[in-house]
Amino acid sequence: MKFVKSTVLMEQRRNGDVNMKDLSATNLKTALWETPNDIKGDKMLAAQGDAIAEQAREILRTVKVQLQICAQSKRNVPTEVIDFAES
């Protein structure tokens, strides 16, 4: 698996428009933090929140697998993974 820097995180906004952001740990955390608050405030459906959470889990699984592969093969961690974690 290759971590693609151009991957983007889709974040649902209150008016239903989709806002595309560059993928970073900070943006992922923000989207996950806003999701339960939006569901509580009836600004988002629970199914949308589930989809956002599933997408976030898949992103984190991918990063975890990449780090495991790097550790087992004694290769350097890709700069895209480092950029994701540091931003």
Check residue 14 and report its DSSP letter. T
3: tokens are 């971590």
What pLDDT, on a 0 to 100 scale, did the predictor assign at position 20? 45
Nearest CA to 48 among 71, 77, 18? 18
Instruction: Give the 3-state secondary structure percentages of the chain, helix then strand then coil, rounded to 5.
Output: 60, 10, 30
At CB < 8 A and 24+ separation, what contacts does 67-74 make? Answer: 69/1
Domain boundaries, the chain: 8-86
The half-sphere exposure of 87 on its side-chain side, counting CA atoms within 13 A, is 13
pTM of the model as a whole? 0.69
The half-sphere exposure of 27 on its side-chain side, counting CA atoms within 13 A, is 17
pLDDT tens-place string over residues 29-85: 888 899 999 999 999 899 999 999 999 999 999 999 999 999 999 999 999 888 888
